[in-house]
Amino acid sequence: MGEQRTESPLILLGRRWVVANYPYNSTHLLKSLDWLDRLAPDASDAVRLATLTHDMERAFGGPDAIAIKLNDRAYEEAHSNRSAKIVGEWLRANGAQEDLANGVEALIRVHEWGGSPDANLVQAADSLSFLETNVDLMLGFARTGKYPKPEVGLKFDTMYDRIQLPAARELAHPMWEQAKLRLMGSDPRVSTGVRPLYLRPESLDALLSLLREHGPDARLLAGGTDLLVRLRKGFEWPSVIVDVKRVAELRADVAEIDGCIRVGARTVMTDVIEDRRIRQHFPALVDAARTVGSVQIRNRATVVGNLCNASPAADTAPVLLAYGASLNLVSAGGTRQMPLDNFFAGPGRTALASGELVASIDLPLPVTRTGGAFGRLTRRHGVDLAIVCVCCVVRESGEARFAFGAVGPRPFVVTSRLDAPIDDVCAHARPISDVRASSDYRLAMLPVLTRRALRDAVGRMREASEGA
């Protein structure tokens, strides 16, 4: 993976059009595009636009508006054709080439069923988002008695069966499985009577052996600040939990090794904040670590765990990207090093191979004067996930590295110059709308935070020069 692809102007405009005109269901369309990124990150603009806008006829009334009838072929055809017409008109009005507009229209006309490889991608992304965004709604109907549980269970089965593409079914299966478990009871321990097997190896060899034995059914436990929450809420219920806290080879300290500062797999946020070398050379990392949860959380949460969750809004991820961090990975087959920018594959997904884990993080010590700054925006002061987070690291050479979180399917970095237009740097962002903020608000705030981070980073570099 290289740097985040730049969205075309039409995609960016399309996001705004969807949010402005279809606010009550824009989440489904925006999430469809997120799922497409996981299925086919290099999909064409025609596929991306069709995925983003396929339901837009429902946003516009009029004498030709169509009443929704689920699982009705005649309705699906009328809905698809009307959406294609509305989207095609919008594309042409906004300067789209005729072949692009025609291609998008053709894909929307068959988005309910697929047919061609591109149409199958649109259908799969739509179906994945439909399942994801309707699980909580259906469970609410079951709780209130609007629908009986067996009927809701059948609806979940229908949503899952609608997904045809094998890769998409693989992504959907955990969601479908969890939805059925949650329908049976809010706590999977109650509904299944099965508790995860808890294992606590005391050596790296034993740990790797357990990972090889249990494969994807195993979850690693270090600080547990995310895993335990997911367990309580029933979002995740692995068959095996492997506690790594007694594995001595996985270090719990900060060390200087071969021109790098190395942060061990078991090193917690508090230790990073208090380390003299990190405070001197990587102050933005200290700033970011201080924003993670409460004091109690920071005493438990590990930096490596914050990365391995692969949350697009992870606070330490943009900082480590901007500082050029790399990861030391280990498995039964040996060790390898991976640039952090290659690690994030999407929301909740990493490039770790089966049976592989992150042993440590390496931060290269700067050889010239640098300055770094971190900034984030949240809904409220105190403990909250970021709406936008930004880190900027500048060097005497004029290079500026900008890294971003919560404005795309994964944290990403943009290498630029001190004098580069901020709008060009921010053009790489692809935010979604969710319960914390709309994509428009994120796009509006992003250049503001980016300018502040650049200003503060330059100020820190000047302070370093004056103090030399």
- The string of pLDDT tens digits covering residues 398-456 is 999 999 999 998 999 999 999 999 999 999 999 988 878 899 999 999 999 999 999 99
CATH architecture of 9-184: Orthogonal Bundle (1.10)
The amino acid sitting at 73 is R
Mean pLDDT of 220-224: 95
At 232-282, the pLDDT tens digits run 766 677 889 999 999 999 999 999 999 999 999 999 999 999 999 999 999
Contact 372, 282 (CB under 8 A): yes
Of the listed ranges 39-48, 68-77, 144-153, 450-459, the one predicted with least confidence: 68-77
Which range of 130-134, 214-218, 391-395 scores highest in mean pLDDT? It is: 391-395
* pLDDT bucket at 4, cuts 50 / 70 / 90: very low
The residue ranking higher by pLDDT, 68 or 249, is 249
- φ/ψ of 413, rounded to 5, equals -125, 145
Alpha-helix residue ranges (DSSP H) falling in 73-116: 73-93, 98-109
Token pair, residue 159, equals 């949503």
Place of tokens 């700033």: 287
Q: Report whether 267 contacts 222 (CB < 8 A).
A: no
Name the more confident of 171 and 2.
171
Say what the pLDDT of residue 22 is.
80
Stretch 152-166: mean pLDDT, rounded?
91
pLDDT surpassing 60 at residue 24: yes
Asked if 391 contacts 284 with a C-beta cutoff of 8 angstroms, the reply is yes
- In this prediction, residue 67 carries a pLDDT of 82
User: What are the angstrom distances between the C-alpha of 335 and each of 245, 259, 261, 345, 363?
Assistant: 20, 19, 18, 20, 18
| CB-based contact 197:238 (threshold 8 Å) | no
How, if at all, do strands 370-377 and 357-364 pair? Answer: unpaired
Which range is least confidently modeled, 52-66, 307-321, 327-341?
52-66
Q: What is the mean pLDDT of the chain?
A: 90
Predicted pLDDT at 235: 66
Are the C-beta atoms of 350 and 321 separated by less than 8 Å?
no
Interval 309-326 mean pLDDT:
96
What pLDDT, on the 0 to 100 scale, is given for residue 298?
Answer: 95
* Residue 184's pLDDT band (cuts 50, 70, 90): confident
DSSP state of 145: T
Name the one residue in this structure whose structure tokens are 């790594």: 244
Largest CA distance in the chain: 75
Of 91, 86, 10, 99, the C-alpha closest to 55 is 86
In the predicted structure, residue 3 carries a pLDDT above the cut 60: no
The pLDDT of residue 381: 67
Contacts of 123 (CB under 8 A, 6+ apart): 110, 111, 112, 113, 114, 164, 165
Residues of 34-71 as b/e, b for ≥16 C-beta within 10 angstroms? Answer: bbbbbbbeebebbbbbbbbbbbbbbbeeeeeeeeeeee
CATH code of the region 254-467: 3.30.465.10
Least confidently predicted of 107-121, 185-199, 254-268: 185-199
Element spanning 158, H or E: helix 149-161
Q: What is the pLDDT of residue 146?
A: 84
Which residues of the chain does CATH 3.30.465.10 include?
254-467
Q: Output DSSP code: residue 3.
A: S
User: Dihedral of CA 287/289/293/294: which sign?
Assistant: negative
DSSP 251-309: --SEEEETTEEEEETT-BHHHHHH-HHHHHH-HHHHHHHHTSS-HHHHTT-BHHHHHHT
Task: Quote the pLDDT of residue 467.
Answer: 63
**384 within 8 A of 313, measured Cβ to Cβ:** no
Q: Give CATH 3.30.43.10 domain extents, the chain.
A: 197-243
**pTM of the shown model:** 0.64
More confident residue, 308 or 385: 308
pLDDT of amino acid 202? 94
Amino acid at 77: E
The CATH code belonging to domain 197-243 is 3.30.43.10
Tokens 């719990």 correspond to what residue?
A: 252
Q: What's the confidence (pLDDT) of residue 455?
A: 97
Decide: helix, strand or coil at residue 72. Answer: coil
- Spatial contact of 288 and 325, defined as CB atoms under 8 Å apart: no
pLDDT at residue 464, as a whole number: 81
The DSSP code for 361 is E
Residue 15, both tokens = 């996001």
- pLDDT recorded at residue 73: 86
Q: Which of 239, 144, 170 is nearest to 199 (CA)?
A: 239
Cα dist from 234 to 82, 228, 230, whole Å: 40, 10, 6
Q: How confident is the model at residue 343 (pLDDT cuts 50, 70, 90)?
A: very high
Structural contact between residues 79 and 66, judged by C-beta atoms closer than 8 angstroms: yes
Q: Which residues pair with 326 in a beta bridge?
A: 339, 362
Range(s) of the chain covered by CATH 1.10.3210: 9-184
